[in-house]
Amino acid sequence: MDEATFTTPRHEFWRGVREEAPLLLGVAPFGLIFGALAMDAQIAVPLAQAMSAIIFAGASQFIAAQMIDAGASALVILLVVFIVNLRHALYSASVAPHMRALSPGWKFLLSYLLTDEAYAVTITHYNQKTDPANKHWFFLGAGLTLWITWQVSTAIGIFIGAQLPQKWPLDFVLPLTFIALVIPALKDKASVVAAVTAALVGILTFGLPLKAGLLVAAFVGILSGLLVEGRRK
Amino acid sequence: MSLWLVILLAGLLTFATRFSFIILLDHIKVPDWFQRGLRYVPVAVLSAIILPELATHNAILYLSLRNPQFYAGALAVLVAWRTKNVLLTILAGMIALLVFQAVLGVH
C-alpha cells in the first residue's frame, strides 16, 4: 500500500460528505415533493416524517403514500415496497466484500444508510485505492449526509408544501452525477458491454411496473459483462 | 393493521433487503461467477438508471431527437471521460441542458 492510501477516519468521513454533496441538489427537491405529496394523501404529519426515517427509500415512499391514499391493503403495500426496494439487495452484495471486517454495529448502521445515492459514491470510492482500515467512514459520511437531507427536506415539504414545477431542471443532477461516476469506471470491454446493455435494456423494460425494469436491466447487464469476460479467457 | 405498523414493517423489509448480502456473504461461500459478477453491479445498475432518466420526460418515454436531455447527457459523458471530474460534469451537463432546451424550444 502506498502512502497516499493511509487516511484518518475524520478525513474519510468528510470526503464522503463532500462527494455526496452534489447529489443533494437532486435529492432535496425530491424530499420536498414527498412531504407535500404525503400531506395531499392525508397522511398524518408524524407518520409522513416517520416514512422518511423508517423506510428511507424515496421511490418506494412515493408509491406507498399513493397506495395509502388509495386505501390499498397492508399486504399489498408491503409487497410493493419490497419489490421496489429489491435493487438494494444488489447493492448489498456489491458492498459486502468491503464490509467483512466491520463490527455488527457498523454493518447495521451502514445497511440502514444503503440508498442509491450513497451506494453510487461509496462503491466508486471503494473501487479506487482506498484505506481499508477507515473507508467505512466514507460510507458513513456519504450516507449520513443523504439521511439528514432527506429528513429535513421531507419536513420542509410537510410544513410548507412544494410548489415545484412537475419537471424541475435540478432532477437532472442525478443522472449527470451517475454519468460522472460510471464513465471513469469503464476500464475494460466487459464493463463497457455491461453498461451499454444495462442502459438499453433499461429503456426496453421502462414500462414494467415497480422498478422491475431496473432490476431486469441490471441483471442482463451483469450477465453480459460476465459473458464477455468469460469469452476472453 | 394500523398504518404505523405497516410503515414499521415496510422499513424492516427494506432494511432486511439492504442487510441481506452484507450478512449472508459472511456465512456462505459464493460461487466464483457470483464473485466476478459483483464487479459489474455498479456500472450496470447506474447505467440502467441513467439512460431511462435521459430518455424520459415526466416519467413518459421521450425517444426523440428533439429531447434536449440526450444531447446534454452525451456532452456529460464526454466531459466525464476527458476530465473524470464530477462537479465539472454536472456543471457542463446542466448548462448544456439549459442551452439545448432553449435551442430546441422544449422543456
Minimum Cα–Cα distance from A212: chain B residue: B48
Q: Do A57 and A86 lie in a common domain?
A: yes
Minimum Cα–Cα distance from A121: chain B residue: B42
Confidence of residue A167 (pLDDT cuts 50, 70, 90): low
Q: Do A62 and A147 lie in a common domain?
A: yes
Q: Do A123 and A200 lie in a common domain?
A: no
DSSP state of A4: G
User: Distance (Å, rounded) from C-alpha A116 to C-alpha A177?
Assistant: 12
Domain count, chain A: 2
DSSP state of A5: G
What is residue B54's predicted lDDT score, i.e. its pLDDT?
Answer: 93
Do the domain assignments include residue A22?
yes
What does the pLDDT average to over A51-63? 95
Do the domain assignments include residue A175?
no
Q: Do A153 and A213 lie in a common domain?
A: no
Do the domain assignments include residue A176?
no
Read off the C-alpha cell for A200.
438499453
Q: Do A194 and A154 lie in a common domain?
A: no
Chain B residues near residue A33 by CB distance under 8 angstroms: none
Are A174 and B53 within 8 A, CB to CB? yes
**Domain ends where: A124, A146, A170?**
A170
What does the pLDDT average to over A77-86? 94
Q: Could you read off the pLDDT of A106-139 as tens digits, one per residue?
A: 999 999 999 999 999 999 999 988 888 899 999 9
pLDDT exceeds cutoff 70 at B90: yes
Q: Out of A57, A93, A177, whose CB is closest to B41?
A: A93
Chain B residues near residue A26 by CB distance under 8 angstroms: none
Do the domain assignments include residue A93?
yes
Are B40 and A190 in contact, with CB atoms under 8 Å apart? yes
Show the domain range for A101: 3-170
Are A206 and B64 in contact, with CB atoms under 8 Å apart? no
What is residue A1's predicted lDDT score, i.e. its pLDDT?
Answer: 43
Q: Do A128 and A58 lie in a common domain?
A: yes
**Domain ends where: A170, A203, A225?**
A170
Q: Do A155 and A117 lie in a common domain?
A: yes
Burial of A171 (0-12, 13-18, 19+ CB in 10 A): middle
